[in-house]
Structure 1
Amino acid sequence: MRHDINWKSIDLNLLVAFSALFESQSVSAAAAQLHVSQSAMSHSLARLRTLLDDPLFERHGHTMLPTERAISLASTVERILDQVTGELLSPKMFLPEEYQGVCRIGLTDYAEFIFAPVLFDVISRQAPESQICFVNVNRSNYVRLTEEQKLDVVVGSFPDLDARFQSEHLYDEEHVCLFDESLFGKVKALKLEQYLSIDHALVSPGGELVTGIDKHLELMGESRQVRVAAGNFLTIRQLLRRRKLLAIVPKRMAQIEGFDDQLVMTKPPIDVNDFAISLIWPSRQHTRDKNIWLRELVKEEIQ
């Protein structure tokens, strides 16, 4: 241990305050998260600034943005807190068969539709006394919901991952054309002319009527007619039944069994970018036994 440092000025609670401030970027939100007063959080920030000789968090509008120094320290602080909670304060070894808590898993619409049933089954087998909570997330809210809902892991497509998370690639998803065979006849492969002559349906959680496909077609000097958009794949699937509509959807969604319809899938006549499905989790939970178990379980079932 170094003896040239004033250890009396160092308080583990300051690291907890730093972590909360870095996550929330708000003094009031950090105070609420740690169940302390706003003045107490402001005092902790002042002590941190003195201790580390840096502003750490600077106000920009209603947000306290971290400085470069704070950003460089964030991973170290999280690692220290994780070691304290996971190694020093861990009450006992995690045993799934004895676990009576809640497994909280964030899933995008796509992941929830495909994987919620299989994840429920495998968690129920391995941790029969546990409860399971699936939380619907998307690219814009997964950071906030992970904190608010105390999510253990999240599954979905997150191309620009927040620095406070770690990830593991699960697989790449491709797209297919989906339509009612009873109306279009047996079609092995759609030609571009056919594809453009059919009205299109979009799975569009945000309500957009234009996607990257339309931009790609525009570069080709072509366009398609988007007739309808809906935020849920089940709605689009119902719309495709007995209607002259076509939708480009992720292949695994199209392959889900149990639907009483005559929908078939073919390869799109244009290039449609694949997208990566990843398992992500908060860095601070990386070494925790429960989180490691859940990550391995998800990977085994999905990959």
Structure 2
Amino acid sequence: MTKPLKQNLSRIDLNLLTALEALLEERSVTRAASRLFIGQPAMSHHLNRLRELFDDPLLVRQGSQMKLTRRAKELAPKVKKILDQVRNDLLLVQEFDPASFDGHLNIGLTDYAESLYAEVIVQALLQSSPNCTVSFILVDRDSAFTLFRNGRLDLAIGSLGDGPNELAVDKLYTEKHVCLFDNERLQLGIPLSYDDFLSVDHALINNTGNVKGVVDDLLAQRGDRRKVRVTCGRFTSLLRLLPEQPLISVVPQVLAALGRPDQGLTMSPCPVPVPDFDIYVAWRKEDNDAPVLQWLRELVAGTVKQRRLSILP
């Protein structure tokens, strides 16, 4: 009597089902073994296991030929259907087509990255994938890592190095700091001297209201301090504030180059050795092989690099 299959599932693997398919279609141990590139003894072993599993001889010799039993004939289309589904649904690598993609993408951008790249990323995404939806989420390092853990980000751009182990990063470029100011109002020498740097008021990017930053820590090591008169939470606000104001701000070089031509601002090397920082694209390692995210990473990274080169050739 045939045992219920559910009692024998632990004894079935794909190799055994593949062997069964070959045996039922070839009706020959020798030809089935050749088809699967294994030895005849190994195929005979598979056949013995299958006979025990299904409690049926499956193949019986009649004269010089092997014939399928009734049970084998019942199994043949079912086994083929199962294996075809595995081949087509599980093992077949589907090519990703951006033009037909209509999903939702969540991209985390630091304030710096949003100011510089949000517009061109949208243009590139919608040109390549006009039916997709994209959400930009303003992040800093800590919030980006938290959102990744919660599955709420597909990609992030910013100063995101040295993150948790579950994240992968790709360095896009290294950013420097410069001083940006309206020199028609301040009338300072170029390049800006250390004394002039300390003599005027400063504007600082900080979204917590804190009037001290990395520059102030470096100055304190020299026993000096600057006068911070204004703090802004966003780079875009700072760029609107600096024209015609007697203020200096230490900002990333690419951002300074972007704001300088249209607003009459002057850019000068910073007389305080502020450390450079790296800009990364980050994603979850578990998404390394996801076709949609491979496409997204390549498109975004290429767009960011091209945009930066257009600002700072």
The answer to whether the superposition gives a TM-score over 0.5 is yes
Checking the alignment, whether the CA contact within 8 Å between 2:161 and 2:280 is kept in structure 1 is no
2: distance between equivalents of 1:138 and 1:278? 13
The letter of the residue matching 1:273 is P
Checking the alignment, whether the CA contact within 8 Å between 1:106 and 1:146 is kept in structure 2 is no
1: distance between equivalents of 2:241 and 2:259? 17
User: Which residue pairs with 2:203 in the alignment?
Assistant: 201
**Aligned 1:1-303 pairs, distance under 5 A:** 88=90, 92-148=94-150, 150-185=152-187, 187-256=189-258, 260-303=262-305
1: distance between equivalents of 2:165 and 2:229? 39
Structure index of larger Rg: 2
Gap regions ≥5 residues in structure 1: 1-6, 9-83
2: distance between equivalents of 1:101 and 1:90? 21
Mark the CA change 1:191 to 1:258 in structure 2 (over 3 Å): closer, same or farther.
closer
Following superposition, the deviation at residue 155 of structure 1 comes to 0.5
1: distance between equivalents of 2:260 and 2:222? 38
TM-score, length basis structure 1: 0.67
Q: Deviations over 1:235-282 (max 9, x none)?
A: 222222211111000111112259742211110112111111001001
Q: Deviations over 1:214-250 (max 9, x none)?
A: 1111222221111111111122222222111110001
The list of structure 1 runs, each at least 4 consecutive aligned residues, that deviate by more than 6 angstroms after superposition, is none
Specify which structure has the higher proportion of helix. 2
Following superposition, the deviation at residue 300 of structure 1 comes to 1.2
1: distance between equivalents of 2:92 and 2:135? 23
Percent of aligned positions that are identical: 33
TM-score, length basis structure 2: 0.65
Following superposition, the deviation at residue 206 of structure 1 comes to 2.7
Mark the CA change 1:119 to 1:267 in structure 2 (over 3 Å): closer, same or farther.
same
2: distance between equivalents of 1:138 and 1:283? 20
The letter of the residue matching 2:176 is E
Bigger mean CA offset, 120-129 vs 148-157: 148-157
* Matched residue SS, 1:256: helix
Mark the CA change 1:168 to 1:100 in structure 2 (over 3 Å): closer, same or farther.
same
User: Which residue pairs with 2:47 in the alignment?
Assistant: none
1: distance between equivalents of 2:140 and 2:91? 33
2: distance between equivalents of 1:290 and 1:90? 16
Mark the CA change 1:115 to 1:183 in structure 2 (over 3 Å): closer, same or farther.
same
Bigger mean CA offset, 272-281 vs 215-224: 215-224
1: distance between equivalents of 2:235 and 2:112? 8
Gap regions ≥5 residues in structure 2: 1-8, 11-85, 306-313
The letter of the residue matching 1:162 is P
Following superposition, the deviation at residue 284 of structure 1 comes to 1.1
Q: How many residues align?
A: 220
* Matched residue SS, 1:287: coil
Q: Deviations over 1:81-116 (max 9, x none)?
A: xxx9xx838894321111111222111111011010
Checking the alignment, whether the CA contact within 8 Å between 2:260 and 2:267 is kept in structure 1 is no
Mark the CA change 1:90 to 1:156 in structure 2 (over 3 Å): closer, same or farther.
farther
